[in-house]
Structure 1
Amino acid sequence: MGIGVQHKNVRKTALPRTGRTLDAVGGGGYPSAGSVPSTGGSSVVEGNFEIIEGEGISVDKQSAGSLIYKISHGNTSEGESTANEGTFVVKNVLVDTFGHVTGVESDDMGIIFDGKYLRKDKPDQTDYLLGLNGGATFGNYVGGFLGSGGIIDEKGYAELMGLTLREFLEVPELRFNRIDVISGETWNAIAFGLIESVDEVNRIVTLKLEEGELSGMHLSDFCRGIFHNLTDNATQPGKDSAGFDVTVGFSTSYFTPVEIIDNAHFKYELKPGTTVHPCAFMKFAVYGNPTDKSRQASAYSTRTYQRYLVGVDTWEITPKHVSMQFGDLSNLVINGQTLKKGSVYLNNVYFGGNVWNVPGLDSSFKGDDAYSVVLSTYSAVYNVADGIYNQVDVVTGDDTVVTGSEIVIASEFSVSTIIQATKGANALRYSTVTGEGKYTVTSEGKGCTYVITDGLVAVQEVTEDAATINLHVNCEGMAVYDLLFTIVRVRDGEDGTDYKYIYTRTVSASAPTTPGTKQEDDYVPAGWTDDPVGPTSALPYEWVSKRNKFRNVWGDFSTPALWAKYSFDGRPGTDGEDGRTTYQVYRRSASQPATPSGTWVPPSGWALDPPSGDAPLWMSKAIFNGNGTLYSSWSTPIRITGDTGSPGSTGPAVIFRKEYSGSKQYTGSPEHVEVVYTGSGSSRQYFMTKTTAGTFIGQYPGNDTAYWKKFQGQFENIATGLLFTEEANIAGWWFSDNRIESQNRNVIIDGNANTDPRIALGATFANRHNAPSRMYEDGSVFFSKGTIGGFNLTSNELNSNFTDQLGYSSNFRIRSNYDTAIQISNSYGDFAGFGLSTVQGENNSMLYLKSSRLITGVTQNPLFSPLRVDFNSNSPDGAVAIRVGKSSYSNDPKIWLNCTHVNGFGSNFRVESRYLGDSNEMERTVINAKLAPRDWLVSRGVISNPNWKTIYVDENTGI
């Protein structure tokens, strides 16, 4: 809209926002285009000037006689104030040149701050350098080896759980020193691992693996790890049970996977005899496997030597596992030879000026922990005509055998053997993974196929006449035993050649004509017989002819040959010269007797046979002609026996320790010596410890040393019909001085004539008198426990369990440490006890019988009673004879029978012998029935013919 404007010159000093006067204006006025007269107040503006339009202002210049300007602006009454909304704030206020507000600019405070500050309430980032001058912590930081979280301090030192670098790690030590220092061992193995965590309760290891990494662990791998624990670290150097060096200040763990759960998890068992578990952050290496030959090689180095291992099939490293070693060889002992000067050991050869043959060594143990592996049989003969399987009858304990057909056929392998492995007295069980109490088996077969199941080696097919199975039995990963099972395949032979002999006799010495043959088994030509009858003086010549039957065809008879000839009497021969005879005679004498004389045999005081006695035995001899005259006189008597000596001491028992090992302990004493061998094949030699050697280790056997003596004769094989020897060691049994003793010293058979046990089981020879099982020369035996014909023998007791006629579980026992020597009882509660001694038995009685059965029907035997006597005899003593002593003229009775209720209720019935002061001093036989009812209390309805008599009863004295 248009409005009139009255112009007023107003002059005002402007103030800036700071409140200070602007010096630039200086209070000067505003110039105009012409003079404007003013009459004070409002006036009409007249003059030649221009008014410039501004924002929101419009100017309309009119010239109608006078210059008129119309200035107008928009309606400002419709403006609205700006409200604060959320995090928005006023950024700019827009005004026109007249000071009118024409608009407001706002902005979001959150956006403004986000561009300048880092958030604390959610993830944030910046494109600029971020400085943490005081350091930073991460997670729930707890310092120390077992802490958590992480920290980087103001100096840049960090303590973190882990660090992953995808490219390079640059540190001064690596960039400038170029030296990698390790105090311990470095390994090159077929598999290794870094442990992330261990569950010792369930024995589960979790491996630390990178994405896509495979662990490479196999069952039964021998794993070894060294780690510093807070406790139980090694304090002394030396060797551990596996043959490795002990690292002081660290703990060594030996374990083996027994179940692979997945790529990163497996269950484990510890090496037998060890207690150190694997732990988190431990690195470990695989150095062997009992069955997988491809995992039995590794190499490792220490500060003093480098070693290469092969064929590691046991936990313990022995010299046979070392194929090469460089550096310090003092820890390597071969057949007692210590290679301590430090050199090179290669392929079982020690180079040091000389060449030594060092054959492989086998692990061996002794004492209660000795391993033993045997086969139930080491060879078998298989006839192809019999088949590889045997059919057997089906025997079950059930009433019915359910099958899928009408015929039940079972079979078993006819060619098999059983592996029997033990550790001391405990049997090891067959397993496919190594572990404590287990044995594993690897094998190679030739000429046959077979399976091994739970220790049974069963041959399924034999393809060669001589087949073999090599078995390698690994006991707990500690020792390996090689056994050989041989199979010989045979076939039934073809029928042999049949023969037929015929005989005939002739007068002359000319052979008869050869008879003809026929294809008849029993054919005998005319004039011949199939049994020789012998020549006579009339037919002095007997002839024989033979024919053969080959492949069921008879051949021709052979040309007759002389079989027998009759002998006619010959001419008498000339007498021969008389022969000479030598006679030896014997005599016992303390001193040399006089030389005998004469032709009488034996001379006086002498005998043809050695007489008995203890004195020395003397002998003289003479030669006689055939006519009884002396050809050579009696010789001067010579002594042929010595004086009787005192009994010698028992010789030492011999134990075979197999191949010598420089790490084993050996013993030589008057009671015990040991035998070993060195070398192999034709170069094998045997040595025995001397009785003066004592206990020693590391003394290599020699021909004659202070510790060993060599066997005089040594043979690889001996075949003989009769072997006579004073002492022998055969298959673990020692034969000496009329006794046989097992090498483990717990079975003795003694044939010497004395009072010692002839057979003793479970004790050494010295302690055979206390063996738990003993047999003596007089037939007496001693057993501490056992089973004899269904009776169990224990300490002071013989017992047997059975089921009685009514189906109750019963027990019979004879005991010597209780008053009741014989007892019979059952599960129902019946009891019989016999006290066969002067003391009282059960329930204060010599004989005690008890029955808890309540007979209410006929389901149980109605004739049952604890004591029943069936007597069919004319004996005047009757079925039961009871004799008691006199009452000694007192009122104290001698009770014959005493009948009461078990629970104490009801009547008491007794038969007694009692003296009541009668004039004849006789004792009365009294029936004492206490608590008998009065006659008027008796129910007469239960009696068929109540013919009542009064009976007087004294409750003290009876009837």
Structure 2
Amino acid sequence: MSGVRIKDLQSAKPLIEGYFDEMEFVVDLPQPDATIKMSGAELKEAVGIKKHIHPLEEVDGLPGELEKKFDKAGGMITGNLRVLGDGRMKNLRVDEYLEVPELKYNRITATGNEFWVTDAGVVDDAWEDDDDMYVVELKSKEGEVTINFQYKDILRGIFYTTDEDGNPTGFKTAYFEVTGIISETMFHCYLLNGITPQRFMTLARQGNKTNPARQGSIYLDGLHKFIRIIDKVTDDKIEQKNIKVQLGDLSEINHPVFGQLSGYGALLENAYICGRLVQRNPDTGEDWIVGAVAVQGEQVFRYNSDGICEPVTITLTAVEFGITSPETARTWQYKDGSLWVDIPNTQSLIFELSPNSEIWRERRTLTLRYLACGVYYDIITITKVYDGEDAYSVRILSTNGTNFINGDIGTFLQAAIFKGSRDITATLPDNAFNWFRVSDNPDGDIVWNELHQGAGSRIWIADPDVYRRATFECEIII
């Protein structure tokens, strides 16, 4: 076999790999002075083939081959480069996609300031179509399913801006509405804030204009330090009413009920708690349990034709949940116009009401309230009904329900008065209807009640009329 120079090693590689075991090698030994003839198989058995490293300049022909990989105008590798083993670089910049099975950054997983749990995708290409619409193509990989968006999805994407030298200068948030699906990876969209889709932009669905099942998402904000669950998002704006749960910094929320929030805490639309909920006073360090009360009992005294009343008395029972109030902190009250009047010697959980009690004051209806610790209360109304005489009854209806979340309040309250089964509301003048409000703002209640004397059978209730919670009643003068 003719000799092979090392600079031609690359072209002789197939020959060497195929016939190495049959090749013959002559090895000179200086001590002792001898010459050994060995086959390739004997040589591998004796010394093996170990990993070794040579500086590039010592390998004849290799630097020249690597130079061919570079575009000298831009210093770029124009072909494929495969490195087996470890490598170390001072800086690495990837202009397109970096695909790795695991990415470690000082052994900490970093996601940026916003992390969304929702449908997402990366823009591989985008271009303007007809009528100011844009076509977006998402990055896909063969053999993998691309999670695409759906019709009327509201998308948001972060676009990082750079200067002429490619240095980051800031970012912009873009919003799009999906107006048509082309394929599993392509869709039409409409710009909601004038910023166009950019290649490599990551898109996340934050809502949907028409589909309630796609109007919610979860995200973590590392810059503003909160975790938020949102729902009912139908456009590019996330309003306070869309926030169903927020944990962390609440200082950016101006709540219609609680006002401007501050500090760290939890804002929950609903809370279901087993056991006790204890609240601590930050000023005194005192703990108190958050609870509630409920009043139970009959609501009607019935008089027969002989004037005999049944039952003889009505027993009202107050039940406390999560609290155990001392007797000195309990009282029963009756409503007299807009005022609540204490009933003397009523510090028990049980109250006996007689139809002849002086607190009736010739009324046929009487509203009572159990109050514990000056905070927890429940209300009940008792009515006298006479046989042979049509009893008057009042119903208050709301055109838009009675429970409102996040301050989105707007409803008409309609008082209807019946004599027996006959509606006589239309026969009464407007000044016969006096409306009263009971809320957590007693001073405001006084003003509100004065403004709604003789207001008619129908009134409008909106956000300013409700402070945290409110009960509305209507007194009708016949």
- Shorter-chain TM-score bucket reads 0.3 to 0.5
Question: Structure 1 or 2: larger strand share?
Answer: 2
Normalised TM-score (structure 2)? 0.42
Higher gyration radius (CA): 1
- Structure ranking higher on relative contact order (CA contacts 8 Å, 6+ apart): 2
